[in-house]
Amino acid sequence: MKRVLTIQDISCLGKCSVTVALPIISAMGVETVILPTAVLSTHTMFKNFTVKDLTDQLVPITDHWKSEGVKFDAIYTGYLGSAEEIEIAKKIFDEFGGDDTLIFIDPVMADNGKLYPAFDENYAKLNAGLCGKADIIVPNVTEACFMTDTEYKEEYDEAYVLDLLDKLSKLGAKKVVLTGIGLSEGKTGVYGLDTETGEKIIYQNDKVDAAYHGTGDIFASVAVGAITRGISLNDAFKIAADYTAKTIEVTLKNPAEPWYGVDFEATIPELVDTLREYVK
Ligand code: PXL
């Protein structure tokens, strides 16, 4: 069985980061090892959330794994809590990475033109440095703008997307994939570039008109699970985009719709069925 390490926070309530990555990647038939960067009472969109930073635990935990000779097929990072944790993540890539280990970075720090409460512009620059060590990065437009000193635009054309991809490529990642890109009215999806071959990765599906927390983490987790199962990048991002859209749709139909996250638990069986079509 393939094994993924995911490095991100535990938000106890709020369905994001580890509480999404662990069930989804496991359901996709991939062992999921977690390295929690912090424990929060909820994600940071709630008021008065508590935080216990776990920076001082990361090195002892990974040193123990090292002594056990543990290897990972992929390392997937999401929400990291501090500048120091970004530096430690780089060291973990150096220690556990290599030709057989995919480094997948979702530089979670911002959305809708704004940084999340815990972060500043310096953090964004450090995240840009981290992305330089990745095989695949999946920023949204806001994160891409903060990492490349580009003006954020709510409405844009394809030239703007290509310019962002060009600037992201210069950070050093091998594949740069922008998420939440709508190339026409009512659509959303991914627009990516393989910086080595120049090949594009484009997928558009119907935009469901709702914004929920944690959907980026669901998208990234499915993509990581699919790629680790040997599915091509184009198919992996299609599966991830379709699953995320379907899950938002199902959540919207739930009369007791939780506003803090989506009902991915209800759609996991469909994800597993979809996977069977691709992995025999
Ligand atoms: O879904 C991204 C995310 C992860 N972890 C925490 C967050 C957020 C987004 O706000 O606050 C703690």
What confidence category does residue 255 fall into, taking pLDDT thresholds of 50, 70 and 90?
confident
pLDDT in tens, 112-124: 999 998 899 999 9
How many Cβ atoms are within 10 Å of 52's Cβ, its own excluded? Answer: 11
Please give the distance of CA 133 from its chain centroid, rounded to a whole number: 15
DSSP state for residue 113 in the 8-state scheme = T
- Tokens for 7? 């490095």
**Is pLDDT larger for residue 72 or for residue 118?**
72
Q: What is the mean pLDDT of the chain?
A: 96
For residue 76, give the nearest of 34, 13, 44 by alpha carbon.
34
Q: What is the mean pLDDT of residues 85-103?
A: 97
Q: What is the mean pLDDT of residues 179-196?
A: 96
At residue 57, the pLDDT reads 98
If one residue of 9, 50, 79, 262 were mutated to test the ligand 1 pocket, choosing by the most ligand atoms within 8 A of its CB, it would be 79
**Degrees, nearest 5: CA angle 52-57-63:** 165
pLDDT in tens, 134-186: 999 999 999 999 999 999 999 999 999 999 999 999 999 999 999 999 999 99
User: Do 160 and 141 form a contact (C-beta atoms < 8 A)?
Assistant: no
- Tokens for 93? 């890539």
Instruction: Report whether pLDDT(219) > 80.
Output: yes
Q: Which atom of ligand 1 is nearest to the CA of 42?
A: 12
If one residue of 17, 85, 260 were mutated to test the ligand 1 pocket, choosing by the most ligand atoms within 8 A of its CB, it would be 17
Residues in contact with ligand 1 by the CB-under-6-Å rule are 9, 11, 16-17, 40, 43-45, 79, 108, 116, 213-214, 216-217
| DSSP β-ladder status, 136-137 and 114-115 | unpaired
Q: Which atom of ligand 1 is nearest to the CA of 78?
A: 4
Q: Phi/psi class of residue 14: alpha, beta or left (left: φ > 0; alpha: ψ in -120 to 50)? A: left
Instruction: Report whether pLDDT(246) > 90.
Output: yes
211 CB contacts (<8 Å, ≥6 apart)?
none
